Chains A and B, each alone.
Chain A
Amino acid sequence: MNLTSLSLIELREAIQKKEIKAEEALLAHLKKIEERENEISAFITVLGEQALVQARKIDRKKEKGRLAGIPIAIKDNMVTKGIRTTCASRILGNYLPPYSATVVQKLEAEDAIVIGKTNLDEFAMGSSTENSAFFLTRNPWDLRRVPGGSSGGSAAAVAAEEATAALGSDTGGSVRQPAAFCGVIGLKPTYGRVSRYGLVAFASSLDQIGPLTRTVEDCAFLTQIIAGHDLCDSTSSAQPVPDYQEEMKERLNPIKAAYLGEKILEGIGLEVKDIYYKTLQLLEESGAQLFEKEFPLWKYALPCYYIIAPSEASSNLARYDGVRYGFRDPDYSNLREMYVQTRTEGFGEEVKRRILLGTFALSSGYYDAYYLKAAKTRSLIYQEFQRTFEEVDYILTPTTPEPAFLIGEKKDDPISMYLSDIFTITANLAGLPAISLPAGLSRGGLPLGFQIIGKHFHESDLFRLAFLIENKVKFYRYKIKLPRKEE
């Protein structure tokens, strides 16, 4: 049995039935990490010894949790007690959190094993994981290409079978875009569905934690465990969490969905369009009623996001001043100099750019023209979605305008990098749940994603439709070959 290629549900069953030990499962994954990390570099920290101790403990337990022995990778912007949490930033390079994020506590309460902390764009700002202050991560499907971002390490680790599943965070597409680039499933839950306590804040009104997995059922299962109200996050919802795994398998109601009109799809890759229409056709053949929608406000989503997210970031990142934790530059003669030196030396280029942009948008004289206008635009976008959801239950889009791009290709052109989030960003602005799943391969052998956006708190609907598409597309028949870099 190849333990690393098993789905979470399969591995869980094998461990629960004592066919294999948690220790064996973990060792198989650690071996895979050893084999593949040289090329992929998905992890900032791998937890070998510590994870082994935990696995052995779980093997001795009589009553095992629902995730007993499942190796899960955590994006390195979720705090883990006593385990270095860096946000891929120099400013938190040696930070040892005194507590664990609620999602991590929930996973550990179910006996999951945190196998490591994954690479990301610094403070989750980016779409390629090239903005990590430490190193870049490579796409397991083609090592010359980026894995997407900002949860690029999490997506690459799951695709390369270095972990059974992973958690990422999604502020503008940071779970779904890398999921699409790496051929895995990625969910951004409804805003408020999952506690953000212990997720290092980037843009608090947009951030949401979500799972990355290789099957839709794994995604449903993991979502169920991490979702729910948390006293430590006042924006988390008290709505009860349904049994997603159960509901996913229920019969689908007649499918009514909206798809994007030509105007929005202008300028996107031909192969992306092709797979998008093929997937729509699959749905039509299954009896879905599809309606073309123009979404006239969609084109304002990205500019709107690039005011709101940097504004919130400039405020959230004000806490990194070298006083209480993290890096402090030794070269200062007074307090202000200490702040300035620490932040100037501690933050990378993209983070500085966004802090400056946000500071500008919030500064006196510009607030109304930029921030307030963006906040109002956001309301309009939300209303447009609400109106659409009076007629349909789903909105279907490609996840990204193109497959994974080459390393370095967009590094010097921020706007072209930002454009890779054009389809994912609206769900964050409107707080809606959205899932990306692989819908096929490009001719060059790169995965292409399909996105389903649903109504608030209708994650079950997303899983049901994604499950249907998964069974039709059968993406699992494609395997990564892990070509070597020099090829």
Chain B
Amino acid sequence: MKKFLLFLLVLVMSVSIFAKTQVVFWHYWDGENGRKLDSLVKDFNSVHPDIEVKAVFIPGSDLMTKIQTSVLSGQTPDMAISDIISVPLVIDTGKVIDLMPFVKRDKYDLSDFYESTLVYGKVGGKLFTIPVSSSNLALFWNKDLFKKAGLDPERPPRTWDELVQYGKTIKEKTGKFGYELYLDGGEGTTWQWQIFLWQAGGEFLDPNKGYRTATFNSKAAVKALQFWVDLTNTYKISPIASWGLFSRGEAAMVMDGSWMTQFFPAQVDFELGSAIFPYPSDGKPATNMGGEQIFIFDTSKEREEACWQFIQWFTSTKVQVDWDKATGFIPVKQSVAKDPSYNAYIKNTNRLLLPFIEAQQYAHARPPIKEYSQVSDIVARAIISAVYKRGTPQEVLNDAAKQVNALLGKE
């Protein structure tokens, strides 16, 4: 009898456990970011006794192929994140749900998000993804090399002309390179160059034509690419070499991501500065944005609701402040960037991050199209061709535009 009661108890308990809505959440945050996510998920689960979120780590390089196969086999997780660049492919599955009804029902405040972060999820009047983390690019400089060259180590260049001047001085006085460009090709090259393009007043693809026409061969684009050619070939202050000279003290300045404010200090043996990236005197500041967005797969009403509860909680200003403090991600919401406790924390712990937070208001989004990776590779190839003097900037960009228009016109 006793045994039977015990069995009954176990049965009742297990039923009550199963009464919880269990949802599976795929992500690729590892290291410190992964640990923080796990602890946040635990917090969420403890205040939501009826929901159990299970965070499952998938390596970043596998996530998209995993999503691909899960969609094909009909065994998707309940929610997942992806890199912003992959969002158009995720939406293309037709298996992620429109969040607009939830947003309207709960009066979820979208206007608090930086506009450029919402570009990816919005399709027509629908909203498929919500930003959860961001990163962007700015200037890092080597204060020791600045000192050696007789420059004020606390004053970074603010314009392209100053960047060139500083670079020349550094080359003359120290023999090191002034500014390191990313010339290893692929998206690494393209997304850095896009910043120069936007600063010069250009656009990458035409936003008025659904991003299906190349505009990266405009006058502004030629100006931006000519600047790269001048840096490497005319002033010779940027080396044509594999990436990584800055961290070895071989180049005095570099454009790199907000995440490097955590890695550089451990890697380098010189004093670092960071600043908004210099822009042309007749141009405007700009930066490029990376990051992740979260989305819900089409499962059941109950589970979708549970996922939405989690997203609402995760993207609340309070949790996002906590998240950004621990991870070093750049805020996706203005209320986080303005939050006094967040700012005080960053000032005390990671001053290098401040220019990145400030730059977020100038962040542009890369075009939210499915073919972006291929377009990016075509443009990177053109950029490097120009730097290698295989053609003038106008020629190589026109050629790339022709290829991209043919690719995007297919549909």
Query: Do chains A and B interact in one complex?
Result: no
Which B residues fall within an 8 A CB radius of A?
none
